Structure 1
Amino acid sequence: MVSASDSSSTNATKISMISPSIFANEEQNEAFLKLKSLCENDNLYWPASELEGHPNNETNDDITLIRFLRARSWDPQAAYKQYSASALWRRKYNLDSTYDNADIQAFERMNRVQPQWTGRRDKNGIPVMVYVLSEISPSDLTQLAKDDPELSSIFLPAEYVTRFTQRLCTTLPHSSNMPIDKSNNIIDLSAVGLRKFWALRGLLQKASNMATAHYPETVERIIVVGAPYFFPTIWSLVVRWFDPATTKKILVVPHGQATAALTEFIEPNDLPVRFGGTLEWKFGDHPVPDTETAEAVGRLADRWVEGPIRYIPRPEGDLLMAVGTQDGKMRREILAEFHPK
């Protein structure tokens, strides 16, 4: 096991920490307390992974509650309605167990057609995700349709981001004492024809609808680069897949201005060469961690593990654990351990 206790600076944030400054005003604080009360009074909890705690000790994650409040303009009743529907959805599909026991190869097939983490973060410590539509392999789509015609496993990459990537980035040094609960998404549409976009529209729409309903407020910004000539035509279709709050976070960058726009919030050494940076990372590669991330994840930095990974918060020290199944055998491999100071 690898100790990561020396890799976090004094401003690193524990997963469970809620800073008072997270609320812009007293009304937001009251809305948060009201939502917590509604959940407790109705005994409403998101199901917990058995790896993170016994079901009898289920609690609602404060950061997740705040995300749902943000999505519903701090209306506790509206947030409760969406949160309860999401809890029901998670129980229906047994999401935590499904993630923990996902077939590793099937997981990778789904992950290859979704935004992928570069291993880097922006200037505020928020992970940088990249999606290059022209690199989506027809064979991956064919196999995915064969394995999972209903795309029922489309949530797996979203769980990876929220249960591993963002939680890990929270423990790394960043500019605020707030938990990292969002991601940057660079969407590269260059060299994408209308036929390919049309072939991908079902996947894109389903992923967007799922994210809007069950993973609200997990996006910091969406930067669209290399938009093709037909993009204005499909824009009216694309915006229907997102809620208005997310649509406002979408920035379409004109040709020739991508590097300037992206380096406003991403250091050049953390930006892939494809977008004018110096990071040797291509879509489909494993993450390339920066120095601080590499120190935290230990041997994972040298040999990235495929399949689902879970960040497990524990009072005695958080864990990074590779989970999933391969050839019918369950995987529970501790990759790194974070000791409390």
Structure 2
Amino acid sequence: MTKAPKFSAEEIAALVESENACDFSPVQAKALDFMRTMLEQTVKEQPTLKPCAEFSADIRLMRFLRANAWDCNGAWKEYCEAIKFRRDRHMDSVRDQIVTANKAFFEGGSVLHNLYLHPASTKAQRVQPRMFTKPVAGGHEILLDRHGNLVMIECPGTIDYAGIFELGTAGWSESTIWHMEMRSLIIDELSRRSGKMKRVCSLLDFSGFKMSIATGLGASKSEKEGYKAWKQVASLISQAYPDTTYKNYVIGIAGGWLVNQMIQALAPKRSAKKFALLGDGEDAVKKVYADVEPINLPRRFGGELDNGDQWPAHK
């Protein structure tokens, strides 16, 4: 059995601060060599676990190492579960569909041509709209923050949780996982181009969120089941796609119990520090500008883009 490398406190401190996606230091190389060796041994014993090129690439291995604070054994354990997750859900085939449908982008372009590939994805977008692109001639141009991270705008406050249930929680969950695969492929591509690890800067607008959804008191059966599915898939995704979050700006939500419930639903404990709770109002929105220029924000947040489908009352 290959022995995992151990690092000193000083080395770990430097590793945690590192952002490079290439030109790895000797210490980083030791960790990557361990991950590659473990993968090679595992695939030799279980050939069906062999992942696609992106998932076995250094950038993706780095995400598992970074998410586990450079605990190599912990990173490998999580990675091993992730390749089982991918095999069981045929995610390499999903990867192929995404890359083929958006070939120009993954060959160095700036435009995505097809965002909705899963059979249920168009309907899923209606019940849980996301905004991470702007329309341009020939397709969709991704939104970026000031650091080159992907910008993702969602509004949990207006999600149709009953609609998730009516669509079918299995189909909705699978379409969400397909979206996460696309998201991860995009940020890996951005990382390769820049030589630095890129992630997702999310804006989560909870305006209009009904307490009955979170507490279950007064919510319909379909709303309860839809909300349950939403929380479950969020937890599942966080383990299969680690180190994808740069920051989560939370807007339009009161403090206290509800905030804690939302954070626990959206992210593992290791990502809790990446949440910035902004409250309501113009001053709260302005804090987002430190990371995202108005040119890449909708008018809802004082930006220059048309509002997405998240806010039907604000179109």
Could you tell me the TM-score, scaled by structure 1's length? 0.64
Q: Cα–Cα, structure 1 residues 46 and 244, in superposed 2: closer, same or farther, change >3 Å?
A: farther
Q: Cα–Cα, structure 1 residues 92 and 147, in superposed 2: closer, same or farther, change >3 Å?
A: closer
8 Å Cα contact 1:269-1:278 kept in structure 2: yes
Aligned counterpart, 1:108: 122
Residue-by-residue CA offset, 1:126-156 (whole Å, 9 max, x unaligned): 111011123323674244227738x344311
Amino acid at match of 2:205: D
Tell me how far apart the structure 1 counterparts of residues 262 and 158 of structure 2 sit (CA, whole Å). 20
Tell me how far apart the structure 1 counterparts of residues 34 and 153 of structure 2 sit (CA, whole Å). 37
Tell me how far apart the structure 2 counterparts of residues 222 and 77 of structure 1 sit (CA, whole Å). 28
Tell me how far apart the structure 1 counterparts of residues 33 and 170 of structure 2 sit (CA, whole Å). 43
Determine whether 1:62 maps to 2:66.
no
8 Å Cα contact 1:35-1:76 kept in structure 2: yes
Q: Cα–Cα, structure 1 residues 59 and 106, in superposed 2: closer, same or farther, change >3 Å?
A: closer
Q: Cα–Cα, structure 1 residues 132 and 216, in superposed 2: closer, same or farther, change >3 Å?
A: same
Aligned counterpart, 1:166: 187
Residue-by-residue CA offset, 1:56-85 (whole Å, 9 max, x unaligned): xx9811111000001111111111111111
Identity %: 22
Greater helix content? 2
Aligned counterpart, 2:287: 261
Aligned counterpart, 2:306: 280
8 Å Cα contact 1:110-1:153 kept in structure 2: yes
Determine whether 1:185 maps to 2:202.
yes
Aligned counterpart, 2:111: none
Task: Provide the aligned length of Structure 1 versus Structure 2.
Answer: 250
1:226 aligned to 237, 252, 257, which one? 252
Amino acid at match of 2:59: I
Matches within 5 A, 1:113-152: 113=128, 115-118=130-133, 119-137=142-160, 140-145=163-168, 148=171, 151-152=173-174
- Structure 1 unaligned residues grouped into runs of 5+: 1-16, 53-57, 286-341
Tell me how far apart the structure 2 counterparts of residues 244 and 59 of structure 1 sit (CA, whole Å). 24
Tell me how far apart the structure 1 counterparts of residues 170 and 78 of structure 2 sit (CA, whole Å). 30
8 Å Cα contact 2:118-2:178 kept in structure 1: no
Runs of 4+, deviation exceeding 4 Å: 101-105
8 Å Cα contact 1:115-1:185 kept in structure 2: no
- Could you tell me how far 1:252 is from its partner in structure 2? 0.5
Tell me how far apart the structure 1 counterparts of residues 287 and 213 of structure 2 sit (CA, whole Å). 26
Residue-by-residue CA offset, 1:95-147 (whole Å, 9 max, x unaligned): 23256399644122234426431331101111110111233236742442277
RMSD, aligned CA: 3.0
Residue-by-residue CA offset, 1:239-258 (whole Å, 9 max, x unaligned): 43432221110111022222
Report which structure shows greater RCO (CA 8 Å, sep ≥6): 1
Aligned counterpart, 1:209: 235
Amino acid at match of 2:56: N
Tell me how far apart the structure 2 counterparts of residues 59 and 183 of structure 1 sit (CA, whole Å). 18
Amino acid at match of 1:79: A
